[in-house]
Structure 1
């Protein structure tokens, strides 16, 4: 079975019609239909059910799809490894990270790349999903919780968790706000799937505090927009937007509330040494971009 035919199968499975799949893989519709029928004859199994002009995966097709995707991902990794070995360096670099980390850290870092650096791509993935992307072909993940074994890891920076207020807010002349003061205010917070919200909830529980009036949303930039509109103090880890004023969040007898960035990669990666050096470069970039960045 050729890799090309496997890619055709995945394209049809994802598109749902031969015509759309043919457009995506740049072959004619009759040729693609013929290749799919030949694949089914070769495997002696029906991969698609034909219904009202669409192709739906059969039970066998649904079981076969993840197997084919795994083979294609391994083939892509093998090709990348061969290219890197031939060039003597990392040729391609796929980085997985949350939307905030991609916007505020990864994208500005990639803007510093030169012609000798690998060709980068990014994959938006939050939380443990970013580590899952390593298993599925990403080279490097930037996450906000320390990666477990067997991943190689490098702590990049410890950055503040911010409380953002608009220019007319009474706190605008301050540099920080106590957690107890913050808890008594109307807040705009992220939903509990986000690491900044988890850190805030844990800090409140540690001081036996609870959120008073709050608005919950699923996007950090929207949270800042709501703060700018006067709906409450936004608690996020993003860089400031909408002319908001940033305050550190202080705690009794504890360091200010912060979020930690970690890089993770596979120690068995063919370019593990190059990825380690890349993680070091990101750490240096964080220090340069954010000034006096705390270290763990």
Structure 2
């Protein structure tokens, strides 16, 4: 079906007369009339009828016009995608990230984007599902551990892992806490798949100590709520909530930190755009958290 003929038909419907539509399309009125007649021959039914000297949609034309508009809209969308592919840019970006990164880092980042930036949507993902997603429609993923080597990646932030305590807690005024000191308290932690939990566990092993008591939570906000209720010390990379005091966790190598990496398929048609987004995310994190993607958090 000829899109040009569909466009001529919907233009006549939109402006109301053949003469006005011809002027809109910048063709002669007889030429437009021939186009409508050609479309009617292709369809096998009349699109317009004359009623009291005026051109009106036929019953069939009235039913067909919505379908014609849908076809034209789909064609325009396909043309837009093709233009983006040819230019190596993206109108929409689909991202994947862990829950904490999504809420504390990416959501504030998206709020500062400009209207001419790509439209970015973000879905929650574990490390494994983010890697899988990059093979099935996800454009850019943020990881809390180094991405696989077959991806292009950029380190975007080095963030502290905090020991969160109630302001009335004995450690609240200490400024920081060591791993052995931390192990002596009841710890509120996330499940073992969370990167902050994994790094804490590794640090406990390196120091040769074990936590005196553990409360395991699935949700980081619930963990902070329990800390605010004086049920223990929440060990998380999340931003502070509930008026808690965050203490850096010191190790012989410096503060205990978590590194964020942005990763994408090197064969992606808009790899340059994705790299630019990763650079902008890094700059945002540097401003928001006072850290650089290529420098450790100051201990």
Decide: shared fold, TM above 0.5. Answer: yes
* Residues 23-102 of structure 1 aligned to structure 2 (within 5 Å): 82-85=82-85, 89-102=89-102
Query: Which residue of the partner structure matches residue 132 of structure 2?
Result: 132
Cα distance in 2 between the residues matched to 1:192 and 1:244: 23
Checking the alignment, whether the CA contact within 8 Å between 1:187 and 1:232 is kept in structure 2 is yes
Say yes or no: does 1:268 pair with 2:267.
yes
Contact 1:159–1:293 (CA<8 Å) still a contact in 2?
no
> How far is the alpha carbon of 1:90 from its aligned partner?
1.5
Task: Tell me the distance in 2 between the aligned counterparts of 1:214 and 1:185.
Answer: 9
Which secondary structure does the structure 2 equivalent of 1:135 belong to? Answer: coil
The TM-score with structure 2 as length reference comes to 0.70
How far is 1:80 from its partner? 8.0
The answer as to 2:210 corresponding to 1:210 is yes
Report matched runs for 1:237-276 at 5 Å. Answer: 237-251=237-251, 253-276=252-275
In structure 2, what is the Cα distance between the partners aligned to 1:140 and 1:89? 13
Aligned partners of 2:245 and 2:291: how far apart in 1? 18
Q: CA deviation at 1:85?
A: 3.1
Specify the alignment match of 1:30 in structure 2: none
Query: Do the aligned partners of 2:142 and 2:263 also contact (CA within 8 Å) in 1?
Result: yes
**d(CA) in 2 for partners of 1:267, 1:254:** 33
What does the per-residue CA deviation read over 1:267-288, in whole Å, with 9 as the maximum and x for residues that have no partner? 1001001101110000000000
Q: Give deviations 1:118-160, integer Å, cap 9, x for gaps.
A: 0111111122211211111011000101011210000011110
Select the structure of larger CA radius of gyration: 2
How many correspondences in the alignment?
A: 218
Contact 1:83 1:91 in 2 (8 A): no
Runs of at least 4 residues off by over 4 Å: 78-81
Distance 1:217 1:108 in 2: 24
Kindly indicate whether the alpha-carbon contact (under 8 Å) linking 1:175 and 1:247 is maintained by their aligned counterparts in 2.
yes
1:5-59 CA-to-partner distances (Å, cap 9, x unmatched) read xxxxxxxxxxxxxxxxxxxxxxxxxxxxxxxxxxxxxxxxxxxxxxxxxxxxxxx
Q: Does 2:136 correspond to 1:141?
A: no
Distance in 1 between residues matched to 2:115 and 2:102, nearest whole Å: 21
Cα 1:135–1:275 shift into 2, 3 Å: same
Aligned-residue offset at 1:86? 5.8
C-alpha distance 168-292 of structure 1, shift in aligned 2 (>3 A)? same
Contact 1:80 1:92 in 2 (8 A): no
Q: How many angstroms apart in 2 are the aligned matches of 1:239 and 1:175?
A: 17
Secondary structure class of the residue paired with 1:192: coil
Secondary structure in 2 matching 1:122: strand
Tell me how far apart the structure 2 counterparts of residues 172 and 257 of structure 1 sit (CA, whole Å): 18
Deviation at 1:97, TM superposition (A): 0.1
Q: Which residue of structure 2 lines up, in the alignment, with residue 281 of structure 1?
A: 280
Corresponding residue for 1:122? 122
Partner of 2:231: 231
2:14 aligns to what?
Answer: none
SS of alignment partner, residue 250 of structure 1:
strand
Aligned pairs (5 A) from 1:181-192: 181-192=181-192
The offset of 1:292, in angstroms, is 3.9
1:46-92 Cα offsets, whole Å, 9 max, x none, are: xxxxxxxxxxxxxxxxxxxxxxxxxxxxxxxx988525236763110
1:26 matched residue in structure 2: none
Q: Which residue of 1 aligns with 2:198?
A: 198
1:110, distance to aligned residue in structure 2 (A): 0.6
